[in-house]
Structure 1
């Protein structure tokens, strides 16, 4: 009798984990390679699950594709590993169990890291290897990204008439990480030809059952569930799972009541967990009707705390000339000079102070702490820089939620200099997300949703700036990055400092089609050494030979060098104001008196431009 014919009238018990079981034995390598080097061990694990009561086993091929094997230098052994895996499973089964060829998902919490075309190529190669060895069906498991699963399901359905089991993994109960409700995801998978649709990994029995309570019985497919044993614990440098088999036995009938017909285990499960499922559901018929629990509709309320105190900067800079100033948080605990600078800059009438996030990978006082004090004690708007370098996804979301709570709604999302360039070169650079994904993450919070799709109960009100580096060999590529960042949700841009009027014109011509406004970075040089260091050693900054020559003339006259640096900056401000509405002044070494002078100059020149334009308009009319 075929696999699907059996499922019509019977609950089938599937096997449990392979990788975490091997890990618990002390094996910590490429588990799929063991199909070749430790074939007997893999066969014995399959046999143990069958002896425990499994009607269905899966091949040890979850990560046996080109993309994942490449991490171990095994990308040329896709065929050998998959072929051996099926042979090992068949040797154990001896026609006592159905064999599913397993293909795991590649994309996780960062779906855009692997192009879909690469996934297609890798999937086809593995699929053909499994089909050639004669499996009884294909198991697509642990897919967090619905687009990936839909893509590979369509490929598999076109290539074979064998049963296909399509299983998703959830970060949150009842919803995919792209915010697709699980019922909609299942409907789409069934519509694309999946014979069995279900859940595996990440969730234990409790949360998997809570999710399934909202899922109706499919019209033409069957439901499956492969829960984890528990949440993983971490002790003495090793992960382990503590869920016991008796807990699984008690949950077995609940899975049946939710309409599950293929029931197995995922991470942390052992033959004992599967024995518990099999013993409890032996000769128990599946349900053909179920009452679906209606999920209460949640209303996200926009509370008073999330209302912005200032109009978005992108709106301000579209309507008039706008000046913002970067004032770096200090590296030491004394904040006296910082707040003196913030106060002096506020008096010039600028629109905001921006605070870098440990620039050049050197630790400074928390910019969110200083931003909040600047807002509450001085009444100055703060733009908080956030890098991808220092926080993982958990920390980034927590940080953003904290900024929302503090009423700091203006963000500059940047990748961040790698840790090795800073004061602690041995520190780790995290980079869980890129600046693109960070922008997207912030905008998702504006919809009241976490990065995993979970509702947060309130909508944030963030305005998101993105960095723009025009000091590159290909300005066209830099502009393409701007366009990509806009697609991810960037509201406006802040540029690296520009030290050439010719470059300003070049940037204007290259970006005049961009609808999002741009603040042009201008930084006063304070010495010839400063100019040379910035040009040669700081990523993203280039200074023309002419400017460096001007500063070199006063290398032995510090006071005159500063005046020359201010004069250069003022010329750049004049040129920038003719082309752009936004000026971004960067304060060197907390020398706020320099940016105070430049801010006053820029304000004065802006006023002159307005008067001149008004005069011209009056003559025309």
Structure 2
């Protein structure tokens, strides 16, 4: 009897985790899939233990056995050997089973992976990687089906399903992974995902990983799906914790799976297995918990509420509206280093009176500790009616902190954000501090803009849509402008709305940037950074010690002569005005970076930009 026939006749119990079992019970933390070659007996014992516990279905130890993931361990040329060894081990394990056992060739998803190389992989590279692994698995002619599991992105899973269906007639089980019950992280309902996968030809559709039995059972309740769709569930043993050494552990009791086994059957599940943290003891508990193997067809409720993304409540973003037709000026300020904020806010008020269109607030620039810029931004907006643009760095926040910060910004009505990586932590006051690298700045842009749909990163409704406008950073001082432009193109693809550049000290760089953006058909607003020099020493420091900034020799020579003449401030201002003249020939946006929060200098330059608008109207 083949797997399709078996699925029509009885509820089947699948095996549980491989990776967490090897990690927890065997102390193995290397590439688990390579053990198919180096320690086949270990993998064989795991399969045999699940079969002895009563598993009707086992999956090959190939979850991450693709070229992209194996490259982490320099094993990318072992794809075929690793996958085919895995199938052979699974086949050997079932040879002496006392009941029919079906083997699924497992292929895991990539969209949830945090590895930056995998995140950069093109759809073509992902398809090629999957095809190579699939070909290796199918070449063994010993599989009963294919399992596509732990897919966080439905489009990726649908694409994988199409590739598999084009290669084989074997049954295909497709499992999405949810961060919250009943909804995928892009806001697609679990029910909608099941319908799309069934329509695309999946034999069994379901879910695995992330959530335990409680939430996954909840996801199947009141689920509106077509009749005769076969369903699978592979819950984690529960939520993970950490032991005294900081290692991730699961301590969900097998008896809990015994309690849920019959409930899953009553909900219409055809395959009941386990994922992270589960062991053969959980499998045995599932077998004990089933009062029958008779299939109960899933009952579709009469009414099913539809989840629809919320449209953002559009704000005015006045400086972005203005920059389309007139010269517009933003000023960057560093939040205070101490609790005395009087001078800072007095300076901000003077800038407002001078006509500044917005104040951008650095996020601990040069990794030096200052008052949190979100706190300062809230006071500028609420107490002084000044538009703030908050710099948000990936350096200081992991994914949890970033999302919390974004939600906090929206709750304060602060809608303008510059997404940046941030200066390395080792440069600042506390060189022992570490930088966080959960995401890059381009992914931070995408994360921020997702909130505009009213759907959170877990896929759950936020009950309100944000209206963020996100700036991307651009370095016109780079040796290769084409590389910097490619970076902007990626940021625009992720949702970037406008550009704020590093300070520029060379007119040639301004014109080269304008030409490069025009050649690439990039027409978003651009605010070019202008930093007035205050001394020769300041000029030399910026040129030699600040990453991403270079000063022409002519500028440094002028500041050296100014030091001799005793008029450094005046010459620094003149250079800044010359640069503003160049900027205003090709762009409407100027971003003045105040050195040492010298408000008098900033105000003079704001007035200079504003005068250009007055001149243009006469």
Q: How high is the TM-score relative to the length of structure 1?
A: 0.92
Q: Does 1:233 align with 2:241?
A: yes
**Residue number among 258, 266, 269 corresponding to 1:260 in the alignment:** 269
Report the CA distance between 1:352 and its aligned residue: 1.1
Report which stretch shifted further, 502-511 or 135-144.
502-511
Indicate conservation of the 8 Å contact 2:225/2:300, yes or no: no
Indicate conservation of the 8 Å contact 1:352/1:383, yes or no: yes
Report the CA distance between 1:300 and its aligned residue: 7.3
Q: Are residues 465 and 312 of structure 1, via their aligned partners in 2, closer, same or farther at CA, if it must alter by over 3 Å?
A: farther
Q: Where in structure 2 are the equivalents of 1:36-115 lying within 5 Å?
A: 36-94=37-95, 96=99, 97-108=101-112, 112-115=119-122
Indicate conservation of the 8 Å contact 1:257/1:290, yes or no: no
Q: Does 1:366 align with 2:388?
A: no
Q: Where in structure 2 are the equivalents of 1:379-418 lying within 5 Å?
A: 379-418=385-424
Q: Does 1:553 align with 2:561?
A: yes
Q: Where in structure 2 are the equivalents of 1:437-456 lying within 5 Å?
A: 437-456=443-462
Output one character per residue of 1:243-295: Cα deviation in whole Å (capped at 9) or x when no partner: 22222122112211222111111111111211122123264310135133744
**Residue number among 275, 278, 281 corresponding to 2:287 in the alignment:** 278
Q: Where in structure 2 are the equivalents of 1:486-565 lying within 5 Å?
A: 486-512=492-518, 513-556=521-564, 559-565=566-572
Report the CA distance between 1:37 and its aligned residue: 2.9
The corresponding residue for 1:150 is 158
**Residue number among 116, 126, 143 corresponding to 2:133 in the alignment:** 126
Q: Within 2, Cα distance between the matches of 1:365 and 1:39?
A: 56
- Alpha carbon RMSD of aligned pairs, Å? 2.3
SS at match of 2:163: helix
Q: Within 1, Cα distance between the matches of 2:363 and 2:429?
A: 14
Q: Are residues 122 and 297 of structure 1, via their aligned partners in 2, closer, same or farther at CA, if it must alter by over 3 Å?
A: closer
Report the CA distance between 1:307 and its aligned residue: 7.3
Q: Within 2, Cα distance between the matches of 1:302 and 1:485?
A: 22
The corresponding residue for 1:34 is 35
Q: Within 1, Cα distance between the matches of 2:36 and 2:344?
A: 62
Q: Does 1:603 align with 2:610?
A: yes
Indicate conservation of the 8 Å contact 2:53/2:283, yes or no: yes
Q: Are residues 93 and 21 of structure 1, via their aligned partners in 2, closer, same or farther at CA, if it must alter by over 3 Å?
A: same
The corresponding residue for 1:576 is 583
Q: Within 2, Cα distance between the matches of 1:289 and 1:265?
A: 20
Q: Within 2, Cα distance between the matches of 1:312 and 1:487?
A: 24
Unaligned runs of 5+ in 2: none
Q: Within 2, Cα distance between the matches of 1:371 and 1:599?
A: 20
In the alignment of these two chains, the number of paired residues is 607
Indicate conservation of the 8 Å contact 1:11/1:284, yes or no: yes
Report the CA distance between 1:91 and its aligned residue: 2.1
SS at match of 2:136: helix
Report which stretch shifted further, 3-12 or 117-126.
117-126
Unaligned runs of 5+ in 1: 612-621
Report which stretch shifted further, 276-285 or 85-94.
276-285
Report which stretch shifted further, 149-158 or 470-479.
470-479
Indicate conservation of the 8 Å contact 2:181/2:216, yes or no: yes
Q: Are residues 6 and 302 of structure 1, via their aligned partners in 2, closer, same or farther at CA, if it must alter by over 3 Å?
A: closer
Report the CA distance between 1:298 and its aligned residue: 5.6
Q: Are residues 79 and 504 of structure 1, via their aligned partners in 2, closer, same or farther at CA, if it must alter by over 3 Å?
A: closer
The corresponding residue for 1:617 is none
Q: Within 2, Cα distance between the matches of 1:532 and 1:119?
A: 47
Q: Within 2, Cα distance between the matches of 1:508 and 1:27?
A: 54
Report the CA distance between 1:496 and its aligned residue: 1.5
SS at match of 2:192: helix
Q: Within 2, Cα distance between the matches of 1:273 and 1:216?
A: 29
Q: Are residues 239 and 289 of structure 1, via their aligned partners in 2, closer, same or farther at CA, if it must alter by over 3 Å?
A: closer
SS at match of 1:260: coil
Q: How high is the TM-score relative to the length of structure 2?
A: 0.93
Runs of 4+ with deviation above 4 angstroms: 109-112, 216-221, 297-303
Indicate conservation of the 8 Å contact 2:333/2:359, yes or no: yes
Indicate conservation of the 8 Å contact 1:194/1:221, yes or no: no
Q: Within 1, Cα distance between the matches of 2:482 and 2:121?
A: 24
Indicate conservation of the 8 Å contact 2:223/2:304, yes or no: no
Report the CA distance between 1:525 and its aligned residue: 0.7
The corresponding residue for 1:616 is none
